[in-house]
């Protein structure tokens, strides 16, 4: 998604993305091919089903019979008997979450588009390769009926849904379509197949919501919490991570090539505790069974101290053995650009996403990805929990050695 891309490449922002597929196009393709390839080996077909008249209220358009959540908790079962649906399974974090859950012995049902990845670069075969060990279900999370039908066709109950969905652009409509609606569809479809726990990958920045994708995420978070309040057999874990490595690595190769490290203000306007894909995936996987993560909102950062852009730049120059060379850009430039875009969007509504991308850039240039004290408005590195072992310094070393492959931000354009 678009968040934090300004960190990585100062003048690069995401463009509106490619169109999603329609439900009718995908619905009939569900699993036929994948059953052959994966033989659907892990899903526990002996799982008891209980049908009842209870309906999950929010939006189910079609009046399908729903499954009552089992009276016993899935947490008492052996991981091999726990069926977990992962939506957003083909994303930067989703891929690692799928791997981690498989490594922990769960039955993973990974929902994917027929063309997945940035700009739909992966075909079905490539997606199946990427998600090896999971039961891949090609479906459409943007269409609740299709998704429900496809999950129903599996013939198994679901215990847990993990959502790593995110708009790949951060554009206004796409954010609402994915970060809110599609995520909600996966809750509805999962609940109707018996899911009693939902793990949501959200973002720490929703604490201070100024952007559309943050508002969309918050709206879904609130509905998730309400669902658990109304049904005590249902629970959630909302994971709000700080910055990902991919969002901070965009300048590594430029600096290696002799360019200055670009930052806003004095380079101390914001800070974060970056977390790697693997560490975050491990934390998300913990949320499936850990009792202390039930019905919790969980901000989480990586190991070590919080780092400002200035400190990140210093690490980079030290690793390169070069004299630090910084380009400090006044934050007022961003404000001016946003002002112009806001004015233009009143005349040309089609520029709404361009204006939003400007705001996203401004946000991540100045706001820390740390716990925010709502009373003082101050961010606190000390209060931001740490998890995992991968450091930004090791990540920079790897990028210097191997490049940014696998760390691409998404669809981009020049701002």
Ligand X SMILES: NC(=O)c1ccc[n+]([C@@H]2O[C@H](COP(=O)([O-])OP(=O)(O)OC[C@H]3O[C@@H](n4cnc5c(N)ncnc54)[C@H](OP(=O)(O)O)[C@@H]3O)[C@@H](O)[C@H]2O)c1
For residues 310 and 392, which CB has a smaller minimum distance to ligand X in the complex?
A: 392
Residue 244 sits in the site that holds ligand X (CB under 6 A) = yes
Q: Is 410 in the site for ligand X (CB under 6 A)?
A: yes
Integer CA distances (angstroms), 23 to 17, 20, 44, 164, 364, in order: 18, 9, 27, 20, 35
Q: Using an 8 Å Cβ cutoff, are 8 and 250 in contact?
A: yes
Place of tokens 């850009």: 329
Binding window for ligand X (CB under 6 A); candidates: 31-39, 162-170, 259-267, 372-380: 162-170
Judged by CB under 6 A, the residue of 165, 172, 187, 392 near ligand X is 165
CB of 131 to ligand X, least distance (A): 10
Cα 295–298–300 angle (5° rounding)?
160
331-347 vs 352-366: helix crossing angle, rounded to 10 = 160
Q: Is the dihedral of CA 70, 199, 299, 306 positive or negative?
A: positive
Look up residue 350 and give its two tokens: 């089609």
Cβ neighbours for 387, distance < 8 A, ≥ 6 positions apart: 275, 279, 280, 282, 283, 300, 301, 302, 303
If binding is defined by CB under 6 A, does position 220 make contact with ligand X?
no
Residue from 30, 56, 92, 198 touching ligand X (CB under 6 A): that is: 92
Could you please report the per-residue DSSP string of 309-328?
HHHHHHHHHHHHT----EEE
CA dihedral 287, 292, 296, 298 (to 10 degrees): -60
Q: Which residues are CB-contacts of 144 (< 8 A; sequence separation ≥ 6)?
A: 59, 60, 61, 185, 188, 189
Q: Which residue sits closest to ligand X, CB atoms considered? A: 91
Q: Which is nearer to ligand X, 27 or 70 (CB)?
A: 27
Q: Mask: binding to ligand X, 314-353, rule CB under 6 A, as x and -?
A: ----------------------------------------
Task: Give 4 or 82: the residue with its C-beta nearer to ligand X.
Answer: 4
- Closer Cβ to ligand X, 107 or 143, answer by number: 143
Q: In terms of CB distance, is 113 or 193 closer to ligand X? A: 113
CA–CA separation, 270 vs 205, rounded Å? 12
- How far apart are the C-alpha atoms of 249 and 404, rounded to whole Å? 7
Q: Is 365 in the site for ligand X (CB under 6 A)?
A: no
Annotate each residue in 62-91 with x if it binds ligand X (CB under 6 A) or - if it does not, as one string.
Answer: --------------------------xxxx
Distance (Å, rounded) from C-alpha 98 to C-alpha 88? 10
Choice between 18 and 340, CB closer to ligand X: 18
| The one segment of 111-119, 300-308, 325-333, 340-348 that binds ligand X by CB under 6 A | 111-119
- Token look-up 């740390």 returns 370
- Cβ of residue 266: shortest distance to ligand X, in angstroms? 22
| Number of residues forming the site for ligand X (CB under 6 A) | 29
Contact status: 47 vs ligand X (CB under 6 A): no
Closest CA to 391 of 198, 248, 256, 292: 248
Of these, 4, 195, 270, 271, which contacts ligand X (CB under 6 A)? 4
Q: Which residue among 117, 171, 190, 250 contacts ligand X (CB under 6 A)?
A: 117
Among 14, 113, 193, 293, binds ligand X (CB under 6 A): 113
Q: Give whichever of 117 and 358 is closer to ligand X, judged by the CB atom.
A: 117
Helices (H), 170-308: 172-175, 183-192, 212-230, 252-256, 277-289
**Which of positions 183-202 make contact with ligand X (CB under 6 A)?**
201
Per-residue tokens: 31: 């699993």
Q: Is 359 in the site for ligand X (CB under 6 A)?
A: no
Residue 10 CA, distance from chain mean position: 22
Asked if 45 and 157 count as a contact pair (C-beta separation under 8 A), the reply is no
Q: How far is the CB of 288 from ligand X (least distance, A)?
A: 18
Q: What is the nearest approach in angstroms of ligand X to the Cβ of residue 216? A: 10
Mapped onto helix, strand or coil, the DSSP state of residue 298 is strand
Q: Which of 23, 171, 194, 241 binds ligand X (CB under 6 A)?
A: 241
Q: Which span sits near ligand X by CB under 6 A: 71-79, 159-167, 229-237, 301-309?
A: 159-167
Which of 165, 334 has the CB closer to ligand X?
165
Q: Residue 224 interacts with ligand X (CB under 6 A)?
A: no
| Binding-site ranges for ligand X (CB under 6 A) | 1, 3-4, 20, 88-94, 113, 116-117, 141-142, 164-168, 178, 201, 203, 241, 243-244, 247, 410
């Amino acid at each position: 998604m678009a968040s934090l891309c300004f960190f990585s490449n100062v003048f690069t922002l995401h463009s509106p993305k490619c169109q999603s597929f329609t439900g009718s196009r995908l619905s009939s393709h569900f699993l036929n091919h994948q059953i052959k390839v994966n033989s659907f080996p892990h899903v526990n077909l002996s799982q008891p089903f209980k049908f009842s008249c209870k309906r999950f209220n929010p939006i189910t358009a079609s009046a399908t019979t729903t499954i009552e959540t089992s009276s016993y908790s899935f947490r008492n079962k052996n991981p091999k008997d726990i069926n977990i649906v992962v939506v957003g399974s083909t994303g930067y974090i989703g891929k690692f979450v799928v791997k981690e859950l498989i490594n922990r012995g769960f039955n993973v049902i990974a929902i994917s588009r027929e063309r997945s990845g940035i700009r739909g670069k992966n075909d079905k075969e490539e997606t199946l390769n990427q998600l090896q060990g999971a039961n891949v279900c090609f479906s459409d999370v943007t269409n609740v009926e299709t998704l429900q039908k496809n999950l129903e066709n599996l013939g198994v109950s679901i215990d847990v849904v993990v959502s790593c969905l995110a708009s790949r652009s951060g554009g206004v409509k796409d954010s609402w379509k994915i970060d809110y609606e599609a995520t909600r569809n996966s809750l509805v479809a999962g609940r109707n197949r018996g899911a009693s726990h939902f793990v949501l990958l959200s973002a720490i920045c929703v604490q201070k919501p100024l952007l559309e994708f943050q508002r969309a995420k918050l709206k879904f978070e609130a509905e998730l919490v309400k669902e658990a309040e109304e049904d005590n057999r249902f629970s959630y874990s909302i994971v709000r991570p700080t910055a990902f490595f991919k969002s901070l690595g965009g300048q590594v190769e430029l600096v290696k090539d002799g360019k200055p490290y670009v930052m806003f203000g004095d380079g101390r306007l914001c800070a974060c505790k970056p977390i790697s894909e693997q560490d975050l995936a491990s934390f998300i996987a913990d949320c499936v069974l850990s009792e202390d993560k039930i019905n919790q909102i969980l901000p989480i950062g990586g190991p070590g101290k919080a780092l400002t852009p200035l400190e990140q730049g210093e690490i980079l120059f030290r690793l390169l053995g070069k004299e630090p060379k910084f380009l400090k850009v006044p934050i007022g430039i961003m404000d001016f650009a946003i002002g112009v875009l806001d004015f233009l969007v009143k005349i040309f509504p089609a520029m709404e996403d361009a204006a939003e991308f400007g705001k996203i850039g401004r946000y991540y240039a100045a706001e820390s990805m740390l716990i925010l004290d709502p009373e003082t408005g101050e961010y606190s590195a000390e209060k931001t929990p740490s998890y995992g072992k991968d450091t930004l310094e090791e990540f920079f070393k790897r990028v210097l050695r191997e490049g940014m492959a696998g760390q691409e931000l998404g669809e981009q354009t020049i701002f």
